[in-house]
Amino acid sequence: MGAHEITVIYDGQCQLCQNSISWVGKKLVITALDFHSTDLAQFQLSTEQCSREVFVITEGKRYSGAQAVAFLLKVRGNTVLATLLTISGPVGRTGYRWVAGNRNSWPVKALSRILEN
User: In this structure, are residues 1 and 51 in contact, taking their beta carbons and an 8 Å threshold?
Assistant: no
Which strands, in side-by-side order, build the sheet including 55-58?
Answer: 31-34, 6-10, 55-58, 61-64
- For residue 80, give every residue at least 6 positions away whose Cβ sits within 8 Å of its Cβ, in sequence order, or none: none
Residue 106 has pLDDT above 50, yes or no: yes
55-85 per-position pLDDT tens digit: 999 998 999 999 999 999 999 999 999 999 9
Domain ranges, ordered by start, for the chain: 6-111
- In this structure, the number of other CB atoms found within 10 A of the CB of residue 15 comes to 16
User: In this structure, are residues 26 and 116 in contact, taking their beta carbons and an 8 Å threshold?
Assistant: no
Q: For the domain with range 6-111, which CATH number is right: 2.20.28, 3.40.30, 3.40.1350, 3.30.70?
A: 3.40.30
With cut-offs at 50, 70 and 90, classify the pLDDT of residue 13.
very high
Sign of CA dihedral 92, 98, 104, 107: negative
DSSP assigned state of 46:
-
Report yes or no on whether pTM surpasses 0.75: yes
The one-letter code for the residue type at 92 is G
